[in-house]
Amino acid sequence: MPPKPERLLKRVSGYADEAAAFLRRRRHMRKPFARVYHHGGRCLAYPRGSEAGAALFEAAGRLIEVAGPPRRGRRVDAAAEPARRA
C-alpha cells in the first residue's frame, strides 16, 4: 500500500525544513565572532567588527603567536623511557 500523499508531503517538507536550518547554521558558523562565557553560565558573542570583538581577536592572535605551531604527537625522551617503566 503506497503512503498517503499528505504524509509524504509532511515528510518531504520536514526534510526541506531541516536542510534550510542546516544552511542557516552553516552561514552563522562561518561569520567570525568571539564568544565569552561568564561565571554563572551567561554567554556573550561579540562580532569581529565590534570594538570588543576586535580587541578579543587581537588578544587571541597574540596568544596564538606566543604559543607557536601546534605539536604533533607526544615527544618522549628515549633515556627517560626505561625509568618510567620501572
**For residue 15, what pLDDT is reported?**
75
More confident residue, 30 or 49: 49
Q: What is the pTM of this model?
A: 0.44
Q: Where are the domains of the chain?
A: 30-67
**For residue 51, what pLDDT is reported?**
92
Over the stretch 36-74, which tens digit does the pLDDT of each residue have? 888 888 988 888 889 998 999 899 889 888 888 777 766
More confident residue, 17 or 52: 52
Pairwise CA distance, residues 84 & 86, whole Å: 5
Confidence of residue 9 (pLDDT cuts 50, 70, 90): low
Pairwise CA distance, residues 29 & 50, whole Å: 17
Pairwise CA distance, residues 56 & 60, whole Å: 6
